Each structure stands twice: as structure tokens, then as C-alpha cells.
Amino acid sequence: MNYGLSTTMSGVDCYLDRLPACKRAGIAYLELCLREDYEMEASLYADCMETVHQAGMTVFSVHLPFGRSVTPACIEEEQRLAHVEAVKRFIGLTESSGARVYVIHGSHEPVGEGERIMLLESAAKSLRELVEYMQPLGLTLALENLPRTCLGNTPEEIRWLLKRVPGLRLCFDTNHFTALAPNVRLRRLQRLIPSLRVKWNPVRADGVQYARDFAPQIITLHISDYDGIDECHWMPGQGIVDFAGIHTALIRAGFDAPILFEPNERCKGRKTTAARLIRGYEKAAGISEQRGE
């Protein structure tokens, strides 16, 4: 089993001094997450890659920046084109990293119902242009399933976008299945009483079924746990995600990319470490039991 770590929650510069320890613990792959400030990212990139190589790690993927300055979903065409060019610039910056997979968000948030259809059409157009730009470079664009009102927050929207963007693949985030407007009232109580959580926060998709339905299109992962209310980015085993069901669905479909974690630096009061991530995942997914541990 190969493991990886996304720098999304802290920024790649925050992880550089920890990479040797991550590698010793069993994490060999990285996802570099870019922020919207191109000049800042460009100034960090060379030193970052040198540290990655010194640690003996491999960059598996790049998480493209997300936010209003780079969103692929824009009502104004001139703005949309500018955002596509900005994303291409980030791809050009990091192409030498060796990553062949680039993760992208379909939109900013919140997305209003009155603008949703227009933004979906815009996002599809931008994603199509990016895929066409990337394919000759040997690069793959992976659309991430998103929570709340973001585009790509239901299986139906994911299917719609896949149909309209040939060559588009998916990044499967296990902690992004939420209600449109998560009800965080009495959140601790909801965590203790699942029936109350389900009543107040009905989700529109199930992670295991999502893995079964989209396994052929899933090319990379964002593995973390949550409370079923809103994203938490906890370590596996700290929340409600059925990692055993998800892992089984992916392996049966032939998924062989790294199990790539996307945690917060501290999860439920515990410091996140590579060893805890791997141990938590293997226990939650039933891998430890299969080994007889």
C-alpha cells in the first residue's frame, strides 16, 4: 500500500521540515497545494522541490489554487478566460515537479441557485479548455467533489460535468458529503446522537456508493474523516466515514494510486503525524485485520 500527503490544509512551506520524518513513517508521495498568490508560490517552488527530492519523496499531484481569482466558473466570459489563463500559469510553474495529476475545484462558494446553471456551463467550458491544454503535456485534470453549495456537490453534477468534459477525471474527497447549509447547532450533541445528525444534516450522497459509482474515473484521493455535519479533515477513524466500504470499492475497481491524506495539523486535539494517519486508515479500512494484526 502506497501512502501520500496533501499540503492543502497548511501550505507546502509548512511541511518542508517534516518531510524526512513522513518518509520514514511510510509516506512516499506528496500533493503540492498552491495558493492564489502566484508570485509567492513561484518564490517558494525551487526550494520546495529541492527539499522534496532530498527527502526522497515523489510529487504525485498538484492541487491547483482555489478561490475567486482562479475559479473556473464565471458568469462574465472575459473573467472566465482570465482565470483559465491564470490556472495555466500555475500548471506551467509546477510542470517540472513530475506530477501528472492536477486537482481542481469546480467553483468558489457560495453558489446561489439562481446562478447555478450558468456557472455549471461556465465551469464545463473552462474545464474542457484546461483538459485540452493539458493532454498534449501528458497531464490529467482531476475534478474534486465539493461540499455545501459548491459546484460538484452531488453525484448528478459530477456526472453532468464528466459527460461534457471528455478526459476529465476525479479526485475523491471522503469528507465532503454535507448538506447544502450544514446545521452546526448543538454540534457536539449531534455527534453523540446519529439520528439527530441525520435529521438536521441530511446529506445528498454516500461515500461508499460514490466510490462504487465513480471508481473508474477516480484517479486520486483526499482521505480524511469528519462528523457527518461539515468537513473536519480529521485523521481516519476519528469520525463517521466508512473507510472499509470505500477501500473495498476502490480496490475491487483496480485503484492503485497512493492513499493520499488531507488532514488538519491537529485533529480532535491530537497532533497529526504520518504514523497516526497510516495506522488510523489501516485500522478503519480493515487492512490491519486482514494482516492479522
pLDDT-derived band at 13, boundaries 50, 70, 90: low
Start-to-end CA span in the chain (Å): 16
Q: Is 68 helix (H, G, I), strand (E, B) or coil?
A: coil
CA–CA separation, 228 and 177 (whole Å)? 7
**Contact, 196 vs 285, CB < 8 A?**
no
Predicted TM-score (pTM) of this structure? 0.95
* Residues facing residue 259 across a β-bridge: 3
What's the structural domain count of the chain?
1
pLDDT above 80 (res 15): no
Indicate the pairing of strand 266-267 with strand 270-271. Answer: antiparallel
Distance CA 196, CA 36 (A): 38
> How far apart, in whole angstroms, are the C-alpha atoms of residue 170 and residue 210?
11
pLDDT at 59: 97
d(CA 222, CA 127): 20
Question: 289 falls in which pLDDT band (50, 70, 90)?
Answer: low
Alpha-carbon span 151 to 148, nearest angstrom: 9
Assign 13 to helix, strand or coil: helix
What pLDDT sits at residue 16? 79
Span 105-118, pLDDT tens digits: 999 999 999 999 99
State the pLDDT at residue 12.
Answer: 63
Pairwise CA distance, residues 278 & 285, whole Å: 10
HEC sequence for 238-263: CCCCCHHHHHHHHHHCCCCCCEEECC
Domain with 268 in it: 3-290
The CATH number for 95's domain is: 3.20.20.150
Whole-number mean pLDDT of the chain? 94
Q: Please give the share of the chain, as a percent, with pLDDT higher than 70.
A: 96
State phi, psi for 54 to the nearest 5 degrees.
-65, -30
What is the residue whose three cell numbers read 502506497?
Answer: 2
- Beta partners for residue 63, in sequence order: 33, 103
Q: What is the mean pLDDT of residues 268-273?
A: 92
pLDDT digits (tens, 9 = 90+) for 75-132: 999 999 999 999 999 999 999 999 999 999 999 999 999 999 999 999 999 999 999 9
